[in-house]
Amino acid sequence: MKIALVVSERATCRRHSVGAIIVKDKVILATGYNGAPKGAKDCLELGCLRDKLGIPSGQRNEICRAAHAEQNAIIQSAGGLGSTNGATMYCTHSPCNVCAKMM
């Protein structure tokens, strides 16, 4: 869990810093934090669109630039060290419904 907290420090979301790691047999298969997809400009650079529009936390997530930490960890694991079957994901926050379904 401490590693997930360290990973969360890389988050590029102005609202929340979330980290996730996927572990299997004591080996970290992937890490993820909430932020814009690789190569895209993030909220630290462009500002938070949801803040600009006055949208409360937890609403209208579809207009957010960032992918969730859990999503980024799952994406990263696709090109990683092996199967995630039987792996465990550790997250610094409770997952949203969409991320829980993906897990």
Structure tokens at 41: 């400009």
Structure tokens at 49: 């669109």
Other beta carbons less than 10 A from residue 4's beta carbon? 23
**Buried residues in 41-62 as b, exposed as e (16+ CB within 10 A):** ebbeeeebebeeeeeeeeeeee
Residues known to be catalytic: 70
